[in-house]
Amino acid sequence: MFPVARVMTAPAFAAQSPSTASDTLDTTILWIGCILMLLGLLSFGYLRLTKATAASRGFYDKTMLIVATATCSYLAMALGVGSIHPQGINTAADLAHRAFIPRYVDWSITTPLLLLDIILFAKPLLNKGWEWDAVTIAGFDVIMIVTGVVSALLAGTDRWFFFWASVGAYAVVSGYVITLLLKAPRIPERRVAGKLRTLTGYLSVLWLIYPFVFALYFGGVLDGTTEDIFYMVLDVLAKVGFGFILLLGPAVELVDKVPSVAQPAEENARVRGVKLA
């Protein structure tokens, strides 16, 4: 039913095909992404050495881990590692229809870390047991990525079953982030509240674009070069851009000093609901 067996079809054709201008441009785009991620990593390393406190060091470390992972991913893709052609390689046109496995490995590591940054920043808003909320949302995020890569590896209409499964998991993750965005005004420290609104709104908008790029590429509307440009720009904004927004300014140093403003009524309602059940 699921024609995955053709992902490695006709490797000899790929080996014998000459490089094209499109291939060169794609590789250049990936190298640009690698360099931008590396510059972000160096910048965040410098900020950690010069600004981090004991309370905020974890935010710096996670941000560095995010961009370090992305740097390795873009390096692998620029070198041609992990490029798979779901429909096989039977013609020259098939060479442009590919999925990069390092891209999905990157997302499976970095997107849960981005969510963890947001959740820890929003901790004053969260009730007891928020750690399980974090695990649950990270789990749905991983489901979103795994079903996405399965969708990318399938050929034909079967791909879209997993695409919509990925969109469903994305809706859960996005709904949680938007909930934190709406609750942010409860935080009495306005700099922390403002930074949380910025982070959640910024990431929500960027992540909304990813499934559209995926659908347009595998739907045949976008070519591989345009897809690479979109993903490179989105990845740099979602990792390097997010990191600068998070770390610059005093809010990251203040968040652990903000007392809990979680609504007791919400927590009590949950507890009563469990006891009554």
| Distance of alpha carbon 60 from alpha carbon 249, whole angstroms | 13
Tell me the average pLDDT across 144-158.
91
Please check the confidence at residue 14 and state whether its pLDDT lies above 50: no
Q: What is the pLDDT of residue 175?
A: 96
| Chain mean pLDDT for the chain | 85
Which residues are paired to 100 by β-bridges? 83
| Distance of alpha carbon 106 from alpha carbon 123, whole angstroms | 26
Please check the confidence at residue 263 and state whether its pLDDT lies above 80: no
Q: What is the pLDDT of residues 239-249, one digit of tens each?
A: 999 999 999 98
Torsion angle (degrees, nearest 10) of CA 107, 113, 117, 123: 120
Please check the confidence at residue 1 and state whether its pLDDT lies above 80: no
Please check the confidence at residue 3 and state whether its pLDDT lies above 70: no
Q: Residue 53, Cβ neighbours under 10 Å: how many?
A: 10
74 close to 33: Cβ distance less than 8 angstroms? yes
Q: What is the pLDDT of residue 244?
A: 97
Q: What is the pLDDT of residue 62?
A: 96
Please check the confidence at residue 275 and state whether its pLDDT lies above 70: no
Please check the confidence at residue 11 and state whether its pLDDT lies above 80: no
What are the domain boundaries of the chain?
5-266
Instruction: Give percent of the chain with pLDDT exceeding 70.
Output: 83
State phi, psi for 144 to the nearest 5 degrees.
-60, -45
The architecture (CATH level 2) of 5-266 comes to Up-down Bundle (1.20)
Tell the residue number behind the tokens 């929500």, with chain if given: 204
191 close to 182: Cβ distance less than 8 angstroms? no
**Lowest model confidence (mean pLDDT) among 26-30, 92-96, 210-214:** 92-96
- For residue 192, give every residue at least 6 positions away whose Cβ sits within 8 Å of its Cβ, in sequence order, or none: 121, 124, 251, 254, 255, 258
